Amino acid sequence: MKETFYQYIQELQDTITSKLEEVDGKAKFHQDLWKRPEGGGGRTRVIQNGNVFEKGGVNISAVHGALPKAMQAYFNVGDVDFFACGLSLVIHPKNPFVPTVHANWRYFEMYDKEGQIVDSWFGGGQDLTPYYLFEEDASHFHEVCKTACDKHNPKFYPEYKKKCDDYFHNAHRGEARGIGGLFFDYCKKSDDMTMQDWYDFVTEVGDSFLEAYVPIVERRKHLEYTQEHRNWQEIRRGRYVEFNLVHDKGTLFGLKTNGRIESILMSLPSHVQWVYDHHPEEGSEEAKLLEVLKNPKEWL
């Protein structure tokens, strides 16, 4: 399974980066290959200063070795070895009317000292972070997510949509990071699902990403905006940074397993503001977004 999934994410990285370069029309992804001293490595691709995308990364990695002590405590296991591979992407567009997007699809195995698999699971999802709320964009993103889920189980969309709302939540701010999407983790073999079933589901979601995001970018990328719009975008990006550095499990895992720091922190935008005690004007478009972030909606 690990070879099959690693092959899949390599091909998906190529598909996504090619399409995003086409959408941008100017910038190209810069590629870095890196190795992890303890085992494994990855292929980082970053785009910057384009017509459409201010900064973004589409990264794959496959790392393995002894599970570090800090992660043993996290997973509540003893002295075990691990293998983890995945694709992780974050795209920060220049235009404040185009939303930031994040997605991740991953596979994990744990082994005893004889090299036998003692546990394995899939995880992942995709979620949208707009700075100005266009309800038709939110509905489109969620519709694509639901369609991918429904091909496998009609219970998946409502369950993983709720998990996304719960996970991408800045508890210290009392607000969501964005308008959600899907989040699933610890997808293991069960009476209902084989690992092949989970592979088919996760790759279905991965294959749906461009359909979920690109039409929104095409719709909004030429809208005119002011410096005030950019200021709001940069203030909201600050909330994005707060989530990634305070709450995000993937960031924590990368830092605790001696991952490549540039690849882990590529999710952070180039230009951010933290303005003391900032509140948008009542009744404004900015205030409308905040209301939805404090009270997650059903978009379908």
The whole-angstrom separation of Cα 92 and Cα 98 is 9
The whole-angstrom separation of Cα 247 and Cα 237 is 15
Closest CA to 105 of 148, 46, 155: 148
DSSP state of 77: -
Q: How many CB atoms lie within 10 A of CB 230?
A: 16
Q: How many CB atoms lie within 10 A of CB 116?
A: 8
The whole-angstrom separation of Cα 220 and Cα 216 is 6
CB-based contacts of 229: which residues, under 8 Å, 6+ apart? 96, 97, 131, 132
For 167, how many CA atoms within 13 A lie in the half-sphere containing its CB? 20
DSSP state of 280: P
> Where do we find the tokens 């002894």?
66
Given 64, 102, 169, 229, the catalytic residue: 102
Question: Do residues 51 and 24 make contact, with C-beta atoms less than 8 angstroms apart?
Answer: yes
Beta strands in the chain (DSSP E): 30-35, 40-48, 53-66, 81-93, 100-111, 117-129, 169-170, 175-176, 180-187
Per the annotation, the verdict on 169 as an active-site residue is no
- Active site (catalytic) residues: 102
